Amino acid sequence: MVYLGVDCCDYGLSAFVWGADLDRLRRIADRVRAGMIYLNEGNYDLRNPWGGYKKSGNGRKQGEFAFHDFLEVKGVMYPG
């Protein structure tokens, strides 16, 4: 697995992580500071929160997390 540019910038709207071991991908996703994490081109689900970390904004739209405007949560999308 290669980490290229993870958390290297001031923005964190979304990130993509690829690999064969979904458990390992999930552990990596837990450490990445982005609002939406796609695992192996995971499918977007409207129930997942939409929003970013850092200068990509704080707060979420969509899903139950829209009520928690000042928390930093992330959606992790698994392949369909």
* Per-residue CA distances from 59 to 1, 11, 22, 40, 67 (Å): 31, 14, 27, 25, 9
Whole-angstrom distance, CA of residue 24 vs CA of residue 51 = 24
Domain spans, the chain: 11-77
Average pLDDT, the chain: 77
pTM: 0.61
Angle at 19 between CA 25 and CA 17, to 5 degrees: 60
Give the confidence band of 12 by pLDDT, cuts at 50, 70, 90.
Answer: confident
Instruction: State the first-to-last Cα distance of the chain, in angstroms, to the nearest integer.
Output: 22
* Model pLDDT for residues 16-44, shown as the tens digit of each residue: 888 999 999 999 888 888 888 889 988 87
